[in-house]
Structure 1
Amino acid sequence: MVVDDQASMRAVIRHSLQDLGIKQVRDSGSAAAALEAIRDDRVHLIVSDYNMPDMDGLELLKAVREDDTLRRTAFIMLTGSANRDVVQQAAALGVNDYLVKPFATAALKEKIERVFGELS
């Protein structure tokens, strides 16, 4: 599940994931809608932007980690800046990894492989 309020960024991330061989990629422009969707139909990985209106990436991460069914879902946080406070808060909430935008597909692959092991 790709979560970002900017449609163009969702498309970039979705295409990067598909280029890495991940075929089933869903996306959402809203963290709240994404949370509802993954509660209805679980996913293995959430790639979420930090800075979004209404519910930010940290709030989404917290909601996922507090949900007994979803808490083990892999979560990679994206942000436009390497704000140390955000990184520390995400780490405290149990983020699996962190990626600063803009990023190369190779960097995304590296983060995913840290969580799941080598992609085939």
Structure 2
Amino acid sequence: MPAASSIRVLVVDDQLTMRALVRSALQQIGFTDVNEAPDGEEGLKALVTKGAHLVISDYNMPKMDGLDFLRAIRSHEPTKKTAFIMLTGRSDKELVQRAIQFGVNNYLTKPFTTASLKQKIEAVFGALS
């Protein structure tokens, strides 16, 4: 059972307020090591330089959307095993299927609750202590 405080998280979303909401929810769950990036390009740089166990990424972003970001992570040997949760306002089947095809670990639609975020993370890592 991993402790939330031992998991390094990278939150990638082009909206500052959404990054703050995700960070706040993660802190309520017990995560302490949370980094942020405003888009997929910056997220990829942060992931390569700082590393993370879990990426929570928006789908709809400028420069590099969530699917392209996920594909880039999965095609890069040092990052390909990083857990990835897609966070988006869209829940259409096609997007979900493409995300699964590219190796997403879980999917969360906006608006979300702290409890639903915890549930999605525990589905990937197991129960958090």
- Aligned mate of 1:38, from 30, 47, 59: 47
Give the TM-score taking structure 2 as reference length.
0.91
Within 2, Cα distance between the matches of 1:68 and 1:29? Answer: 23
- Is it true that 1:95 corresponds to 2:104 in the alignment? yes
Q: Which runs of 5+ in 1 are unaligned?
A: none
Within 2, Cα distance between the matches of 1:41 and 1:35? Answer: 10
- Aligned mate of 2:80, from 57, 71, 74: 71
Partner deviation per Cα, 1:37-96 (whole Å, 9 max, x = no partner)? 110111000000000011000000000000111010000001102111110100000000
Structure 2 residue aligned with 1:2: 11
Give the TM-score taking structure 1 as reference length.
0.98
Q: Does 1 or 2 have the higher relative contact order (CA < 8 Å, sep 6+)? A: 2
Structure 2 residue aligned with 1:60: 69
Structure 2 residue aligned with 1:108: 117
Structure 2 residue aligned with 1:83: 92
- Is it true that 1:25 corresponds to 2:25 in the alignment? no
Q: Percent identity?
A: 51
Within 2, Cα distance between the matches of 1:47 and 1:72? Answer: 14
Within 2, Cα distance between the matches of 1:101 and 1:112? Answer: 15
Within 2, Cα distance between the matches of 1:37 and 1:49? Answer: 15
Q: Which runs of 5+ in 2 are unaligned?
A: 1-9
